[in-house]
Amino acid sequence: MRVLVLGAGVVGVTTAFQLLKDGHEVTVIDRAEEVASFSSYANAGLVAPGHAYAWSSPRAPAMMLRSLYREDQAIRFRPSLNPELWLWSLKFLKQCTAEKALVNTQQKSRICTYSQPLIKEIANETGIPYDANDGGLLYFYRHAKTFDFAATKCGILQKEGIKVEVLNVAETIARDPGLTDAEHEIVGSLYAPTDESGDARLFTIALAEECKKRGARFLMGTTLKALESDGNRITGAITDGQRLSTDQYVLSFGVFSPELVKNIGLRLPIYPVKGYSMTMPVKPEHTPPTLGGVDEDNLLAYCPMGDRFRLTATAEFAGYEVNHKPADFNVMTRKAREIFPDAADYSKPEYWAGLRPMTPSGLPIVSASPIDNLWLNTGHGHMGWTMSCGTARVLADLMAGREPEIDASAMSYQSC
């Protein structure tokens, strides 16, 4: 079968890889010149089933409201006249009950735990280097109240079979001596020993090369303008230079997925949630943490990546802009320096901002669509790196008419 994969982010490229394994003839299209140039470029790098909580929870509405009048919040809701934002927000609020938060977290954790070993399996099979670090992740707390709450909440993940250990300050520092300077700042942590980290962009670039070796074509620098359909089938993909026609189409345009299928009658509840990252060089005199993790009370993710150290923060509902200025990174730099004063060369940051393709439930959409030959693998939100290899396998199974190894019904177009 000939398949056109729309999008060369981590989701599109992992999908292409699985489709090639099934013997399909695969073409990937992306408007960027290089793969992983948009949301998959400089994310936090955490492969984190131990952090699979749904964002939509009973506490989320208050956090969003608070962000309207406080500038220092990690979550920033920026009201606009955009009806997409309001529609999405209404759907998000509906997911904020305790019952829905529990079910969504359970579903997410199952996708994450299914996906994580597949990242390793692909890396082992192909020899892809991606600055992997598999010693676990530490989620640390600065306040006793939030720590106690988290230590109880992690029971949800433990029941799903995810290992999470509750550590006091001494145990946390023993686990990662890179946190020694934080002794008086933190009150304890949750340690997920089987979580890991790695550079999603390096992984995606190398996997795309592997796909090419296996016969895939990559049409980079090619913008898809529209899909043509006769109602039940996609009949062509109109790019800026040509019309492509093939048997099957997979939509993996991340935050831009909804826009492309609007004119053929599909509604995808995906909204961009902006985040910021800064990556700094690590020299021999620096003492970065040995493990990645999250400063939970500031929602600040951190990750050692080979000879680099990356910080990531903020969830901003601000539309599709990815612009940024140095001042946007002031709070996260200050918070990080309290904990990791000598982790890296803070004077040489590479700043970046990206958009998480969020659905209201936090679950990706991995499914057939109402159009016969259009498949969906999109909306991976804040965990697209973690879930990518698993959802790629699920989609390949669905396209082949095989039963996926995990229940995919919660990720269907009808459920989203």
Ligand X SMILES: Cc1cc2nc3c(=O)[nH]c(=O)nc-3n(C[C@H](O)[C@H](O)[C@H](O)COP(=O)(O)OP(=O)(O)OC[C@H]3O[C@@H](n4cnc5c(N)ncnc54)[C@H](O)[C@@H]3O)c2cc1C
Binding site for ligand X (CB under 6 A): 7-12, 29-32, 37-40, 43-46, 223-224, 252-254, 256, 260, 275, 277, 301, 312, 354-357, 378, 380-386
- Give the C-alpha distances (Å, rounded to integers) separating 357 from 55, 190, 282, 321: 13, 27, 30, 13
Q: How far is the CB of 366 from ligand X (least distance, A)?
A: 11
Residue 22 vs 328, nearer CB to ligand X: 328
Q: How far apart are CA 58 and CA 62, in angstroms?
A: 8
Rounded least distance, CB 168 to ligand X, Å:
26
Specify the length of the chain in residues: 416
Least separation in angstroms between residue 183's CB and ligand X is 26
Q: How far is the CB of 226 from ligand X (least distance, A)?
A: 9
Closer by beta carbon to ligand X, 96 or else 251? 251
Measured from the CB atom, the residue of 270 and 399 that comes closer to ligand X is: 270
Query: Between β-strands 308-317 and 75-77, what pairing exists: parallel, antiparallel or unpaired?
Result: parallel
Do the Cβ atoms of 190 and 166 come closer than 8 Å? yes
CA dihedral 136, 141, 147, 150 (to 10 degrees): -50
CB burial string 75-86: b at 16+ within 10 A, e below? bbbeeeeeebbe
Q: Which is nearer to ligand X, 152 or 245 (CB)?
A: 245
CB of 163 to ligand X, least distance (A): 18
In the bound complex, what is the minimum distance in angstroms from residue 394's beta carbon to ligand X?
14
End-to-end CA distance of the chain: 28
DSSP string spanning 29-67? EESSSSTT-STTSS---EE-GGG---S-STTHHHHHHHH
If we measure between CA atoms, which residue out of 380, 174, 348, 363 comes closest to residue 273? 380
CB 183, CB 173: distance < 8 Å = yes
Q: Of 148 and 160, which CB lies nearer to ligand X in the complex structure?
A: 160
User: What's the sign of the alpha-carbon dihedral 306, 192, 332, 299?
Assistant: positive
Nearer to ligand X by C-beta: 96 or 376?
A: 376
CB 326 within 8 A of CB 336: no
Q: How many other C-beta atoms are found inside a 10 Å radius of the C-beta of residue 106? A: 16
The CB-of-145 to ligand X minimum distance in angstroms stands at 25
Q: DSSP string of 62-84?
A: HHHHHHHH-TT-SEEE---S-HH
Nearest-approach distance from CB 360 to ligand X, in angstroms: 15
Residue with Cβ nearer ligand X (57 or 116): 116
Q: How far apart are CA 413 and CA 416, in angstroms?
A: 5
Pick between residue 188 and residue 293 the one whose CB is nearest to ligand X: 293
**Tokens read off for 305:** 């990546």
Q: How far is the CB of 202 from ligand X (least distance, A)?
A: 13
